């Protein structure tokens, strides 16, 4: 199977020129073109990936170019009023055999949203214009009939599946490819198999994840690691070790997720100065791994870089993204355990409108960090906080510092 490759230097410059012409042709409006250029210019520093299909990825979170999903995502930012989010993280089931100590859904209700309600809402979100889907569990391979039903509804869009590979089979992997999955991400939290397995509480999980990614890559989908490193591990050179392993395995992406005090880790505190040091190192690593000097390395997408003030800031609450948990709770982000309603009780539109009101303008401050303590202070054994408690909490929230790129584009007021 032909593999993806990275485009740098003149090739990348020519690509951006061609893309601008395509946008000019499509929008036929100088102001829309200007906004589109301003928005896409923040991705110019990223490595450009040419996929086996011949399409391009400017950024891990943006749909591939020139898909319809890409243009819809751009229109969300430059034309559509009110602006829409690009993506949803959708958990189809909490079922999982692993015991990771940090799991953000550990305290969620294990009762799955009935399949017909799930599909009805998937259709609503799709028809509303959500074009980038991160579909996950728990472990989605354990509830494959639910995964398949969702994948059938979102074919052709930008679709990523997050899975440990546990319970995957060649048939399930082939089916995902047939249903148009763009890429698959699997958690790898250490280059040491023993350390990773101790973290997940599942012997053999490290090898299982790598074998799974190899099999997915053989089917022609993009693959990568979801990696959570502690601040200490980052400071001790952990990013380079993970990047070396990913390069050796031929991965396309590494999404570096920083540890969040939510779910099973709710109430956890982090050393502030070590955290600052780790953030600076992760941001520098992203710049280095995306430079033309690292042409053959996988793309490093560090959340702390992508969500920095000079990039997109915090885009939870339906700015760019939101989360729907396995039992139907509509949350601003998987890492923020508050709910704007359960899809069994309220239509999606109601939960969405409540959420957008609470997160009216995109801000630089990371909600998962700034609001963690006050959520923990009122949280009980079950998460997320139900709507009534969420409503009380968010009523007192003041907006933070507006994110520059969105102020420049001028679409949120």
Footprint of ligand SF4 (CB under 6 A):
96, 98, 100, 103, 137-138, 164, 200, 307, 314-316, 333, 335-336, 366-368
- Beta carbon of residue 52, minimum distance to ligand SF4 (angstroms, whole number): 28
Beta bridge mates, 89: 134, 323
Is residue 58 part of the contact set for ligand SAM (CB under 6 A)? no
For ligand SAM, what does the binding mask look like between residues 114 and 143, x meaning CB under 6 A? ----------------------xxxx----
Q: Binding-site residue total for ligand SAM (CB under 6 A)?
A: 22
The set of residues, in sequence order, having a beta carbon less than 8 Å from that of 65 and lying 6+ positions away, is: 19, 55, 56, 57, 58
Is residue 257 part of the contact set for ligand SAM (CB under 6 A)? yes
Binds 307, which of ligand SAM, ligand SF4, none (CB < 5 to 8 A, cut-off by type)? Answer: ligand SF4
Is residue 57 part of the contact set for ligand SAM (CB under 6 A)? no
Is residue 96 part of the contact set for ligand SAM (CB under 6 A)? yes
Contact 128/151 with Cβ under 8 angstroms? no
CA nearest to 89, candidates 178, 140, 162, 144: 162
Binds 265, which of ligand SAM, ligand SF4, none (CB < 5 to 8 A, cut-off by type)? Answer: ligand SAM
Is residue 308 part of the contact set for ligand SAM (CB under 6 A)? no
3-state secondary structure of 231: helix
Q: At what angle do helices 144-153 and 170-178 cross, to 10 degrees?
A: 10
Q: Report the site for ligand SAM in 186-215 (rule: CB under 6 A).
A: 186-187
> Which pair of tokens denotes residue 22?
């395509």
Binds 305, which of ligand SAM, ligand SF4, none (CB < 5 to 8 A, cut-off by type)? Answer: none
Compute the distance between CA of residue 216 and CA of residue 103 in angstroms, rounded to an integer: 24
- Beta carbon of residue 347, minimum distance to ligand SAM (angstroms, whole number): 26
Please select the residue that binds ligand SAM; options are 46, 64, 77, 260, rule is CB under 6 A. Answer: 260
The CA–CA distances, whole Å, from 400 to 326, 341, 366, 412 equal 30, 24, 10, 14
Q: Angle at Cα 379 formed by Cα 375 and Cα 383, nearest 5°?
A: 100
3-state secondary structure of 209: helix
3-state secondary structure of 283: helix
Is residue 309 part of the contact set for ligand SAM (CB under 6 A)? no
Please select the residue that binds ligand SAM; options are 102, 126, 143, 275, rule is CB under 6 A. Answer: 102
- Beta carbon of residue 226, minimum distance to ligand SF4 (angstroms, whole number): 9
Residue 54 buriedness (CB in 10 A; 0-12 / 13-18 / 19+): exposed
Q: Angle at Cα 72 formed by Cα 31 and Cα 77, nearest 5°?
A: 45
Is residue 265 part of the contact set for ligand SAM (CB under 6 A)? yes
- Residues in the site for ligand SAM, rule: CB under 6 A? 96, 100, 102-104, 136-139, 162-164, 186-187, 226, 228, 257, 259-260, 262-263, 265
């Amino acid at each position: 199977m032909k593999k993806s490759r990275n485009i740098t230097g003149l090739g990348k410059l020519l690509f951006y020129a061609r893309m601008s012409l395509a946008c000019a042709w499509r929008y036929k409006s100088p102001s829309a073109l200007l906004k589109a250029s301003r928005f896409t210019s923040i991705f110019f520093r990223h490595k450009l990936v040419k996929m086996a299909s011949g399409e391009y990825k400017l950024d891990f979170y943006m749909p591939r170019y020139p898909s319809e999903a890409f243009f819809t995502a751009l229109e969300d930012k430059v034309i559509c009023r009110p602006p829409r989010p690009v993506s949803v993280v959708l958990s189809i089931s909490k079922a999982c055999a692993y015991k990771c100590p940090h799991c953000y859904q550990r305290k969620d209700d294990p009762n799955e949203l009935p399949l017909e309600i799930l599909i009805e809402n998937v259709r609503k979100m799709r028809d509303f214009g959500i074009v980038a889907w991160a579909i996950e569990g728990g472990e989605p391979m354990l509830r494959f009939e639910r995964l398949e039903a969702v994948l059938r509804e979102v074919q052709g869009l930008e679709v990523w599946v997050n899975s440990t590979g546990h319970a995957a089979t060649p048939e399930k992997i082939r089916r995902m490819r047939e249903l148009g999955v763009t890429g698959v991400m699997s958690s790898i939290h250490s280059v040491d198999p023993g350390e990773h397995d101790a973290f997940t509480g599942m012997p053999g999980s490290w090898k299982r994840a790598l074998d799974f990614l190899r099999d997915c890559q053989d089917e022609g989908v993009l693959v990568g690691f979801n990696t959570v490193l502690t601040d200490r591990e980052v400071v001790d050179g952990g990013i380079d070790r993970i990047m070396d392993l990913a390069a050796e395995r031929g991965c396309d992406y590494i999404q570096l997720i920083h540890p969040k005090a939510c779910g099973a880790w709710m109430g956890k505190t982090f050393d502030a100065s070590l955290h600052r040091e780790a953030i600076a190192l992760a941001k520098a690593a992203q710049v280095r791994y995306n430079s033309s000097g690292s042409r053959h390395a996988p793309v490093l997408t560090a959340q702390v870089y992508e969500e920095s003030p000079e990039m997109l800031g915090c885009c939870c609450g339906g700015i760019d993204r939101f989360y729907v948990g396995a039992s139907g709770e509509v949350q601003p982000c998987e890492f923020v355990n508050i709910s704007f309603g359960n899809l069994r009780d309220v239509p999606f539109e109601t939960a969405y409108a409540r959420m957008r009101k609470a997160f009216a303008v995109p801000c630089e401050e990371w909600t998962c960090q700034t609001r963690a303590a006050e959520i923990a202070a009122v949280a009980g054994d079950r998460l997320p906080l139900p709507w009534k408690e969420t409503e009380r909490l968010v009523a007192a929230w003041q907006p933070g510092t507006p994110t520059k790129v969105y102020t420049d584009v001028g679409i949120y007021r």
